[in-house]
Amino acid sequence: MSEVVMDKSQATITELTTIGQLIDGEMIIDGERSQPIFNPSTGKSEKNIDLASVATVEAAITSAQAAFPAWRNTAPIKRARVMFKFKELLEQNAEKICELIGQEHGKISHDAMGELQRGIENVEYACGAPELLKGEFSKNVGPSIDSWSEFQPLGVVTGITPFNFPVMVPCWMFPMAIVCGNTFILKPSERDPSATLFIAQLLQDAGLPKGVLNVINGDKTAVNTLLTDKRVQAVSFVGSTPIAEYIYSTAAANGKRCQALGGAKNHAIIMPDADMDNAVNQLVGAAFGSSGERCMALSVAVAVGDTAGDLLVEKMTIAMQDLKVGPYSNPKNDFGPVITKAHQEKVNAYIDSAEKDGATIVVDGRNPEVVGYEDGFYVGGTLIDNVTTDMLSYRDEIFGPVLQVIRVNTMQEAMALIDAHEYGNGTCIFTRDGEAARYFSDHIQVGMVGINVPLPVPVAYHSFGGWKRSLFGDLHAYGPDGVRFYTKRKTITQRWPSTSLRENVEFAMPTLK
């Protein structure tokens, strides 16, 4: 590991042109390997990211391990007070955080602010640590015997987070892990690390002891080091399904607890009785918001009957005429660019393949004209009709501003094709029929379900996670499952025998008759 080049008193993240690591409270630059960070709105590189070496990652683990004993023994109320202060600093620095998100992700300010607010809500939930970590107590489970359980931290844990939510998804992980008494190593996306590193600095400003949160920026070298080091006890991940499966299998092979959230292909069923104007308004935001780069984005509308299908396509076409794609710096834009040039080409290739396979491109978002930002990574809102389940564009997760329409004859047929897909992250139904909605929510094989709600993302005091190949692991992210994931239960049974009584040796299993 290289020498320390600066600390937070010398420079803030907004002033850096090379983004490094935050280890034991100090900014570190390896200097061995780096790669550019692009502004997707302009297509130009404005910063570089230092890619951590194995030695640097190991130094972060050592720092977290050294900080663990004292932090583990810190009272939960004191841990919570740090989170209360952290929440305050996030709110005070909201504009700066959203600017960093926009510069490196391309997200429009109103969308970035929504992401930040969702992250803050998870911090608020973590502020309840004294209540969340209370154990269970039973008195007199046997003669003068009491039994109780308590929730103890795991130790050093890590989170590997995606580019599409550089603030919200880290806040799904480290606030809860830390208030539970763990120390944390965060590996954000190398595409847009600045906002993540900035909020980590804010947590230090809130009073978090050095070493409790370390941030590593890197690539597969950093990830593999975290997955194989015996000192790391648990791994949280959000990203694509192939990588989620790799993370989960590698972590499990190395004896670690793991939750790995993968990809999605989220369907909305449009019933014949749906309020079509409301459905269209909801679908526009759910399909194209954040350029479709959300694991909960609605990418397939399943119209039940041609009448519903024709009306949906007609109204969607009209609604999409006013969509504005452009740079993050203009709040009048509806959504910005996709993350990289390579991803722009990938999304366009899926549209090409749908057209080649016989689908109808109703609204074509390929190569939109964004005056003054011709080199940006833009894809406009795209609507594709007459899609079938054998098409590549249907099977794969596109992760772009593309909505595909499939037509079926019955609700049962719509549910069957949703259940048949390998992903089971989110889904919804638009209907006025309560019986149909209840049947749908009871029987659909998907983890998160909306009824006339297109993005059924659970609030912070519930938990987030899909089914099938959208989640590897037993516990969902944040909320009550977050507490369970970042702690281990210990049960203690205790008796203090009276000195006036003689204890008899017993060889049978103790029972209470």
| Catalytic annotation, residues | 295
Structure-token match 């803050």, residue found: 120
Q: In DSSP terms, which residues pair with 241 in a beta bridge?
A: none
Is the dihedral angle over the CA atoms 97, 103, 105, 108 positive or is it negative? positive
In our burial notation (b when 16+ CB lie closer than 10 A, e otherwise), range 122-160 reads bbebbbebeebbeeeeeeeeeeebebeeebbbbbbbbbb
Contact 133, 151 (CB under 8 A): yes
Nearest to 464 by CA among 222, 122, 63, 9: 122
DSSP type of residue 39: E
CA-to-CA distance for 212 and 332, rounded, in angstroms?
40
Nearest to 269 by CA among 369, 417, 386, 135: 417
Q: What are phi and psi of 191, to 5 degrees?
A: -75, -40
> From residue 329, how far is each of 99, 100, 384 by CA, in Å?
8, 11, 29
Structure-token match 């550089």, residue found: 166
Nearest to 385 by CA among 412, 355, 353: 355
Contact 211, 67 (CB under 8 A): yes
Nearest to 288 by CA among 336, 332, 339: 336
Q: What is the DSSP code string of 197-238?
A: HHHHHHHHHTTPPTTSEEE---SHHHHHHHHH-TTEEEEEEE
Contact 148, 492 (CB under 8 A): yes
CA-to-CA distance for 455 and 181, rounded, in angstroms?
32
> From residue 55, how far is each of 36, 58, 262, 298 by CA, in Å?
22, 5, 29, 42
